[in-house]
Amino acid sequence: MTTTTYTITGMTCAHCAGAVSTELRTLPGVTDVQVDVPAGTAAVTSDAPLDREAVRGAVDEAGYALVD
């Protein structure tokens, strides 16, 4: 298991957190997602390290942006 914390811009509320969490959970191998709206982060736990571009795509699909 590995946990990586990503910085995400544009999240302002619980709905934002839910949208990001839902999209990140669709990635293969993801077992848990914890979104912290005030900090603008998402901690993603997965079976193996995730491809950053796959994470970016999921965050984009939710309507937000992954910070490099």
Q: Is the pTM of this model over 0.85?
A: yes
Calpha distance 33→24 (Å, rounded): 7
List of domains in the chain: 2-66 (3.30.70.100)
Model confidence over 3-62: pLDDT tens digits? Answer: 999 999 999 999 999 999 999 999 999 999 999 999 999 999 999 999 999 999 999 999
Res 68 pLDDT > 90: no
Place of tokens 């993801």: 30
